Structure 1
Amino acid sequence: MTLVTGGAGYIGSHVVRLLAERRERVVIVDDLSTGSLARVPDVPFVHLDLAGEDAEGALRQVLSDHGVTSVMHFAARKQVGESVTFPTRYFGCNVGGMTNLLSAMEAVGVRELVFSSSAAVYGETTGPAVIDEQVPCRPVNPYGQSKLIGEWMTQNAAAAWGLRAADLRYFNVAGTGWPDLADTVATNLVPIVVEAALAAQPVTVFGTDWPTSDGTCVRDFIHVLDLAEAHIAALDHVRSGSPIGARVFNLGTGTGSSVLDVVDAVRVCSGIEIRTLDAPRRPGDPASVVADPSHANVVLGWRASRTLDDIAGSAWRAAIARHTLAA
């Protein structure tokens, strides 16, 4: 039995669906602050704020009652700008929730964990454009700091009581595996461009003079279904009797796409001409950030297979379906 925290959310629900396809037994814990039960019908569900009062005791009960042997931990706040405005809230939720979860796992004897971390732990990278797991972590906002603290916590738990963990550092996640599981919050560039196309509004481009092929920032966009499949591979890895410890993995494609590449991909799949509005560079934006996923390729036997066109097409089709239903 696997506990999936945040399993009613965007990424978590994709993983839950893949687990269900493997006929695995799953229980979800979610506070539904951003998740929806419509994404995960017929899956055992416990409504719980992991950082709330008495959450550790409630988690112990869930682990015991359901015979949980492994945990996949997605539940967290994840908006960078919001974390700067409300840092205490972010540490309370992300670090407090992790504290309660690990305490409950230790008490019940659950020693397998897949942790949703982030490439935000790297911060403003000044080294190579392609980032491997050896690049020093210097997060520059409370969100990234809270994720790095979570990784430290898994490492300490491994040393103290034998946790086996995979800490997965996501790059830019987008797209959808199924329209009903689409991301409904337009904070990533892909849904921002999709919504702009639907509303016939321009897309703001922050800097057109970067040292890249077309002058706009380059990022590594990974399809959410590739990401979900990586979680399944990571779960299999920690279940397989891997050495005690917390291993870190970048999850990306190894290929960069510029802002204008994303705009063009949405233009092609939608058939809509999308205007852009040039704006000054944003402070702290690196020119190019691309994952080196070779560690995950080798150790987990996983490799991203979907393209930017796949991402844009899936996001566009889901948005059209959502708008059609709302009409």
Structure 2
Amino acid sequence: MSRTVLVTGGAGYIGSHACKALAAAGYRPVTLDNLSTGWRDAVKFGPFVQADLLDRAALDAAFAEHRPAAVLHFAALSQVGEAMAEPGKYWRNNVSGSLNLIEAAIDAGCLDVVFSSTCATYGDRDGEVLDEDTPQAPLNAYGASKRAIEDMLADFGASHGLRSVIFRYFNVAGADPDGEVGEHHRPETHLIPLILDAVDGKRAALTVHGTDYPTPDGTCIRDYVHVMDLVDAHVRGLEWLRAGKASRVFCLGTGDGFSVREVVDATRHVTNRPVPMVDGPRRGGDAVKLVCGSTRAKAELGWQPHRSTMKQMIADAWRWHQNGSYQA
């Protein structure tokens, strides 16, 4: 059985870490990325195909050349504010691109897909620990587009025998402890890198978007998973499918949330430096509190979030922040 895996978005933050984990597990990851948000320098563990999911001919060529046995699908636009302002961009890129990918995979006889979804499909479920059966009610086009892709995978499963493992999760943090790949976005929108930019003077201050939420300190609460724990789950999901098991949805979380101010406080402790902050308005589409459990993933995949403590995530991110970089 082929051990080649097509990794869409493999030049991005999570995708590049997934390629490292796949290579370590004996797979041959083929990165497919349009480099709109990814980095060529992050492609270190297998072949690279520069292509857009909206280009069906390029997808067909990639499947024909590399003949992957499975797809790990990370490629997506994912900024909440942008999704609120430009929903068409998200439906076109995320949904139309995924439809192209799924149809190209089926035509090539590649029927196993591991899909990186999001707990944004649930919407604002304040006070709940979300699981796979929680009703989905997304607040923005990002979450809605991911839910649509989940539905698409189910439909093609029923009609064409496509099998999928879907992972839903919240914030991802940390970096490869070996320093080969890390987190670097343009523009940067993720909380921990923004905090670290403020710590070392790359930006004047962290803007806290909303300080009047109904939480103990007034800031939003989110669950966080270390990127290396997250991609370990994706490799386990791939092996689930390769073992012939049925399509399945898994949530990945610690069940505990951290507020923005708690993340800032942890960063001060890890870096032993002050964090300049200014208060800003709420962002449209942001939920108050989002956390999920991972009972099913632990029981069925044997997954454990070993590195997913806030101090460990910040320490690994800080190491990359100080030493790692990509060139466009």
Where 1:181 maps in the other structure, the secondary structure is coil
Please give the TM-score of this superposition, normalised by the length of structure 1.
Answer: 0.91
Rounded Cα–Cα distance in structure 2 between residues aligned with 1:145 and 1:90:
9
Aligned-pair identity in percent equals: 42
Q: Which residue does 1:121 correspond to in 2?
A: 121
Greater shift, 181-190 or 97-106, is seen at 181-190
Rounded Cα–Cα distance in structure 1 between residues aligned with 2:38 and 2:279:
34
- Does the CA contact (< 8 Å) of 1:171 and 1:221 recur in 2? yes
- Does the CA contact (< 8 Å) of 1:253 and 1:303 recur in 2? no
Rounded Cα–Cα distance in structure 1 between residues aligned with 2:23 and 2:209:
41
- Does the CA contact (< 8 Å) of 2:11 and 2:43 recur in 1? yes
Q: For residue 182 of structure 1, what is the amino acid of its counterpart?
A: G
Q: CA deviation at 1:125?
A: 2.1
Unaligned runs of 5+ in 1: none
Q: For residue 63 of structure 1, what is the amino acid of its counterpart?
A: F
- Does the CA contact (< 8 Å) of 2:207 and 2:279 recur in 1? yes
Q: Which residue does 1:288 correspond to in 2?
A: 289
Q: CA deviation at 1:5?
A: 1.0
Greater shift, 154-163 or 176-185, is seen at 176-185
Q: Which residue does 1:297 correspond to in 2?
A: 298
Q: 2:49 aligns with which of 46, 51, 55?
A: 46
Please give the TM-score of this superposition, normalised by the length of structure 2.
Answer: 0.90
Q: Across the two proteins, how many residue pairs are aligned to each other?
A: 319
Q: Which residue does 1:161 correspond to in 2?
A: 160
Q: Which residue does 1:190 correspond to in 2?
A: 192
Q: For residue 292 of structure 2, what is the amino acid of its counterpart?
A: A
Greater shift, 173-182 or 162-171, is seen at 173-182
- Does the CA contact (< 8 Å) of 2:84 and 2:284 recur in 1? no
Q: Residues 281-320 of structure 1, C-alpha deviation per residue, up to 9 Å, x if partnerless?
A: 5565443211111111112111211210011111111111
Q: For residue 93 of structure 2, what is the amino acid of its counterpart?
A: C
The question of 1:216 aligning with 2:215 is answered no
Q: For residue 265 of structure 1, what is the amino acid of its counterpart?
A: A
Where 2:117 maps in the other structure, the secondary structure is strand
Q: For residue 256 of structure 2, what is the amino acid of its counterpart?
A: T
Change (3 A) 1:287 1:41: closer
> CA RMSD of the aligned region, Å?
2.1
Q: Which residue does 1:250 correspond to in 2?
A: 251
Unaligned runs of 5+ in 2: none
- Does the CA contact (< 8 Å) of 2:199 and 2:275 recur in 1? yes
- Does the CA contact (< 8 Å) of 2:52 and 2:58 recur in 1? no
Q: 2:317 aligns with which of 315, 318, 325?
A: 315
Q: For residue 195 of structure 1, what is the amino acid of its counterpart?
A: D
Rounded Cα–Cα distance in structure 2 between residues aligned with 1:190 and 1:121:
22
Rounded Cα–Cα distance in structure 2 between residues aligned with 1:167 and 1:115:
5
Rounded Cα–Cα distance in structure 2 between residues aligned with 1:85 and 1:282:
11
Equivalences for residues 168-183 of structure 1 within 5 A = 168-178=167-177, 179-183=179-183
Rounded Cα–Cα distance in structure 1 between residues aligned with 2:105 and 2:20:
24
Rounded Cα–Cα distance in structure 2 between residues aligned with 1:83 and 1:162:
32
- Does the CA contact (< 8 Å) of 2:125 and 2:289 recur in 1? no
